[in-house]
Amino acid sequence: MNKDFISPLSDFGFYNLYGTEQGKENLIELLNAILHERLGYERIVDLKLNPTENKGLNPERKTTRYDVHCITDGGHRIIVEMQNNWHNNFDNRIFYYGVEAINRQDKRLESNKVWDFSLDPVVTIAMCNFKNKKSPDRAINYYTFREEETNELYGNQLSLVFLHLPAFPDTEEECDTILKKIIYSMKNMESIQTMEKIPFSTGEGDFFSRIAERSRYSALDEDERLAYDRWLKHENDRLLELEYVRREAIEKGLEEGRAEGRAEGAIEEDWIIAYKLKNKGMTLQEISDITGLNIRDLKSKL
């Protein structure tokens, strides 16, 4: 992995670009590209960053930590999550984040206040560096509450947006919208060679030069470099482990679990995960819950 420019797809890189006061201008540009017109929102001019860590409603449980959490000048509460790994209840997790942000607007317990159940609209945006197996095969999916027969919008209390980064264009020539250009830049930031060759930049200080500048490894302070280096090590270890499990799966004869339409010898990712979980001592029911695979198939192949 290149260290000249850090990956915006890492937890640290994404937060560095969009989750700090210095990156607020970048976040506004990103949100406008995702939300403007499609969901009928006014263009965002300013926003306030909220704490990304919230105490759980149950004090015995862990806190909930968002990647980015903000309130726009129009009163919309927006959560943005950068996710690199899929799991079987991923959609539920993103939905829960939005519901939790709604629940936290409950003012009934505040003294000397009468609350009429007015709610700020909440949007949860999941930027998925994988194909979400439960969503239609498109680069971006918008979900809102609508009346079933008329398709009329019921309300904007909660909206969900899923961006599937692998489905966005892989060449500069195909990027004909600002959103496609932003996603292309995020996916290819590590391949930038010099600040003079930034894709789509029209000059110093524009959006694309700003995110490139903030992604320079040399611009990080010592603590930031340590945080990013930890992510690099974790990601490298994850890839090595996945490759090891893939080889073991092939040796164990799990070729029959390969995905339809893939090249000969490729192994279905769910079966790789299943085999790994089996080796860690999980029950077939637990493996089924995580992967979505049928227990009967698990019994015959594991």
CB 30 within 8 A of CB 18: yes
Predicted pLDDT of residue 229: 87
Q: How many CB atoms lie within 10 A of CB 286?
A: 13
> Which candidate, 201, 197, 196, places its Cα nearest to that of 182?
201
Predicted pLDDT of residue 91: 87
CB 279 within 8 A of CB 257: no
Phi, then psi, of 47 in degrees rounded to 5: -155, 165
> What is the rounded CA–CA span in Å between residue 144 and residue 27?
22
Residue-level pLDDT, tens digit, the chain, 302 residues: 456 888 898 888 899 899 999 999 999 999 999 987 565 677 899 999 988 776 555 555 556 678 899 999 989 999 999 988 777 688 888 999 999 999 888 888 777 778 888 899 999 999 999 877 777 778 999 999 999 999 998 888 999 999 999 999 999 999 999 999 999 999 988 887 677 788 899 887 899 999 998 888 888 889 888 888 887 888 778 777 767 766 766 666 554 444 444 433 334 567 777 777 777 777 787 777 677 677 777 887 77
Predicted pLDDT of residue 245: 67
Q: Tell me the H-state helices in 63-159.
A: 90-103
CB 215 within 8 A of CB 13: yes
Predicted pLDDT of residue 128: 92
Phi, then psi, of 202 in degrees rounded to 5: -105, 0
Distances (CA, A) of 19 to 24, 38, 81: 7, 23, 11
Predicted pLDDT of residue 260: 43
CB 149 within 8 A of CB 102: no
Q: E strand or H helix at 233, and its extent?
A: helix 222-251
Can you tell me which residue has the tokens 């499609």?
38
> What is the rounded CA–CA span in Å between residue 214 and residue 192?
13
Could you give the angle at which helices 24-35 and 207-214 cross, rounded to 10 degrees?
A: 130
Predicted pLDDT of residue 54: 64
The residue type of 80 is V
Q: Which residues contact 265 (CB under 8 A, 6 or more apart)?
A: 250, 255, 258
Q: How many CB atoms lie within 10 A of CB 115?
A: 11
Length of the chain in residues, anyone? Answer: 302
Locate 60 and state its tokens: 């015995």
Can you tell me which residue has the tokens 């709610």?
119
DSSP 144: E
> What is the rounded CA–CA span in Å between residue 51 and residue 69?
7
Q: Is 33 helix (H, G, I), strand (E, B) or coil?
A: helix
